[in-house]
């Protein structure tokens, strides 16, 4: 089983990256493979809207590190996305990844996979909640399933690199987010999830309607 962590900060030791690591700890402890793709050392250019992908079976014309994301989308069973808050939005680096998913939209590699979101901004009420919602919207657009942490996604206030390490509560909330995503992923992958077998289901209904317990009591 594989979990994908996408780190949207361009800073190597960004606070959002640290929270992402904490959220992934429960997966490591459960023996999952953990793939982290960090936008501090990967380059993903913005989508050109050329629609080359529509004519060439999902192949994007841009040759850069996005190929790693396409592979990881296909391989993962769950994902967690972390981002700094930039102008009450995700980082431009992360938005490029979101948009480049366009090439594989018909394939829907993230469909039905559970995901969690983390946003770190410098200000109180600096747009963290909105940024978490933007990540959740991307999940919905990709067919992925939003999983909350303690309350919603993780929202945190921090500025200098590493500041978040002093905030026990936020580190714990990141871990809870990871635990929740892990729990949903395990459940989804241990059950046959899909449309019910219509014939079997209708047969059961017919049987139920004619069985003695389904009839009204006499008298
Ligand atoms: C271009 C830019 C825009 C920013 N916009 C916001 C903002 O809208 N709200 C906020 O609270 N913080 C804002 N910040 C501060 C960062 O979100 C903050 O430094 C955060 O710690 C960055 O996350 P990181 O440590 O994971 O890189 C901005 C920083 C930059 C560089």
Please state the domain extents for the chain.
2-193
Nearest to 35 by CA among 5, 67, 69: 5
- Of ligand 1's listed atoms, the one at least distance from the Cα of 11 is 27
| Rounded Cα distance, 12 and 169, in Å | 22
Alpha carbon of 155 to ligand 1 centroid (Å): 12
Is the Cβ atom of 205 under 6 angstroms away from ligand 1? no
Is the Cβ atom of 123 under 6 angstroms away from ligand 1? yes
Q: What local confidence, expressed as pLDDT, does residue 52 receive? A: 98
pTM of structure: 0.89
Q: What local confidence, expressed as pLDDT, does residue 67 receive? A: 98
Phi and psi at residue 52, to the nearest 5°: -55, -40
Q: Would you state the structure tokens that stand for residue 40, as one six-digit string? A: 């501090």
Is the Cβ atom of 38 under 6 angstroms away from ligand 1? no
* Residue nearest (by alpha carbon) to ligand 1 atom 8: 87
- Do the Cβ atoms of 14 and 41 come closer than 8 Å? no
Answer yes or no: CATH 3.30.470.10 is held by domain 2-193.
Answer: no
Nearest to 83 by CA among 1, 173, 15: 15
Alpha carbon of 180 to ligand 1 centroid (Å): 26
Q: What local confidence, expressed as pLDDT, does residue 214 receive? A: 46
Q: For the chain, which ranges sit under pLDDT 50?
A: 205, 209-210, 212, 214-216, 219
Alpha carbon of 23 to ligand 1 centroid (Å): 20
Nearest to 93 by CA among 164, 16, 34: 16
* Residue nearest (by alpha carbon) to ligand 1 atom 15: 122
């Amino acid at each position: 089983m594989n979990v994908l962590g996408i780190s949207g900060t361009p800073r190597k030791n960004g606070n959002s990256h640290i929270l992402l690591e904490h959220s992934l700890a429960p997966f490591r402890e459960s023996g999952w493979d953990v793939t982290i793709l960090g936008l501090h050392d990967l380059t993903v250019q913005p989508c050109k809207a050329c629609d080359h992908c529509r004519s060439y079976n999902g192949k994007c014309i841009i040759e850069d590190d996005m190929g790693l994301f396409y592979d990881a989308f296909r391989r993962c069973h769950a994902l967690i996305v972390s981002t700094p808050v930039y102008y009450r939005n995700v980082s431009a680096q992360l938005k490029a990844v979101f948009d480049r998913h366009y090439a594989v939209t018909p394939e829907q590699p993230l469909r039905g996979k559970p995901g969690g979101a983390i946003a770190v901004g410098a200000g109180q009420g600096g747009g963290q909640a909105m940024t978490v919602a933007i990540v959740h919207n991307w999940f919905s657009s990709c067919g992925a399933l939003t999983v909350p942490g303690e309350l919603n996604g993780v929202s945190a206030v921090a500025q200098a690199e590493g500041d978040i390490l002093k905030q026990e509560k936020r580190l714990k909330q990141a871990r809870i987010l990871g635990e929740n995503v892990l729990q949903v992923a395990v459940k989804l992958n241990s059950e046959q999830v899909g449309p019910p077998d219509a014939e079997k289901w209708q047969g059961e209904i017919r049987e139920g309607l004619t069985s003695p317990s389904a009839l009204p009591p006499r008298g």
